[in-house]
Amino acid sequence: MRITVIGTGYVGLVTGICLADNGNDVIGYDIDSRKIESLQAGKLPIYEPGLSDLLQANVEAKRIHFTPDPKQAVEHGQVIFLAVGTPPKPDGSADLSAVEAVVNEISRFVTEPKILAIKSTVPIGTGDHLQAMLDKSGRPVTVVSNPEFLKEGSALDDFLRPDRVIIGAEARQAGEIVRGLYLPFVRNQKPILLMSRRAAEMTKYAANAFLAMRISFINEIAGMCEKLNVDIDEVRLGIGSDTRIGHHFLYPGPGYGGSCLPKDVQALAYLARCQGAQPELIETVHRVNERQKNVLFQKIVERFGPGLAGKKIAVWGVTFKARTDDIRESAALRLIDHLLTAQAQVVAHDPEGLENLARQYGQRLRYEADTYAALQAADALVIVTEWNRFRSPDFGRMRALMRSPIIFDGRNLYDQAQMQAEGFEYHSIGRPSIRPAT
């Protein structure tokens, strides 16, 4: 089938490349011409494991093309996937200006019947609104909601083997056409759920709010564990082993970030308030997370005092999670802001996120590509992201490099007894702090 993908970010690229790999004839369009130039040269503008090779294979096989021309893009696809950003506005609501701009482009260029599948996360009722815009322009376009559930870092696997596919359609035939595109990905009998457009939009928000709730829940319990001298990891295993609860999204940490959970939780709460509902639980999930994002800095202040002038703090991991270069809403940004305000000297290290970080912070901190060089003469190390390379480091080498062997671990990567034996002072989340053995 001829497919168009509008918005070649994390979601649009994964969607387009996976559909091309299945034999569809795909064209990708983005308003950012530098992205398109890079993609036309076969170069991926983001980091996502496995995606670069799959892009190259499909470019070579001429199953995917990229264009800076919206007319060419709109005319190409029988199905047009819309995957532009829906960032938060200051009041928490979703900014739909990019989505509406795309729909305006579509109504300029469409001449024959097409399906517009909305992959962007949009407030409940947006599909109805976009359908009304298109109907008013007289263009034969049917709007279908097709929210995306991939996770950055394992996006290919998530798209190729989804737990479920959600398709929200008012017109049955349009829903069936989109369903047909996904059949090759659900040969393992995972469901494709056809529902109303509004239910599909709500499913996406409800799923993200639930995942965020689990994270805020375990972070709140972790805070209690610290006060009550209990090890959160024992509790996490204890509750996660209950099959009604399970282990997913129950890891204490520095607060959730990324381009989805923070904005989607706020957008759902905003939408609910506008309709006169009382989203108390959802608002609390957000508040707990906002507080959690300060936890690592609070621990540093408890240890060193409020002024950090003359202190050199190394930060390992700046992306919001491992296996991505995405730093949007990362807890590391909040930490770095606090550290800079307290006049600490900050050295940041991350396997993939430093370019994006430097774009935001410029000369205000140091960027170190080497994991160990970042520790040179550091007064403390703070671990914010759970990259594999941080899990079993050479502790002897770390101790030798650091001015003082103090670690603040936002991901509970290390065994406390081992840290004590290795001679570290070790602070983690929801577990008692450890002083070196004397």
Which residues are near ligand NAD by CB under 6 A?
6-12, 30-32, 35, 83-86, 98, 101-102, 119-121, 148, 150, 152, 259-260
Phi and psi for 380 in degrees, rounded to 5? -160, 155
* Set 18, 225, 260, 274: catalytic member: 260
Shortest distance, CB of residue 308 to ligand NAD, whole angstroms? 33
C-alpha 5: how far from chain center: 20
- Closest CB to ligand NAD among residues 81, 408: 81
Shortest distance, CB of residue 178 to ligand NAD, whole angstroms? 16
Q: Spell 294-317 as b/e; 16+ CB within 10 A means b.
A: bbbbebbeeebeeebeebbbbbbb
- Taking the C-alpha atoms of residue 303 and residue 19, their distance in angstroms, rounded to an integer, is 52
- Closest CB to ligand NAD among residues 88, 410: 88
Is 225 in the active site?
A: no
Q: What are the helix (H) ranges across 22-95? A: 33-40, 51-60, 70-76
Shortest distance, CB of residue 214 to ligand NAD, whole angstroms? 17
- Closest CB to ligand NAD among residues 206, 230: 206
- Closest CB to ligand NAD among residues 204, 338: 204
Shortest distance, CB of residue 373 to ligand NAD, whole angstroms? 30
Q: How far does the chain reach from its first CA to its final CA, in angstroms?
A: 69
Give the residue closest to ligand NAD by C-beta. Answer: 9
- Closest CB to ligand NAD among residues 102, 365: 102
**Inter-residue contact 372 to 392 (CB < 8 Å):** no
Query: Nearest 5°: CA angle at 54, between 51 and 58?
Result: 135
**Inter-residue contact 26 to 5 (CB < 8 Å):** yes
Shortest distance, CB of residue 274 to ligand NAD, whole angstroms? 19
Written as one letter, the residue type at 426 is Y
How many Cα atoms occupy the beta-carbon half-sphere of 207 within 13 Å?
A: 17
What amino acid positions are annotated as catalytic residues?
Answer: 260
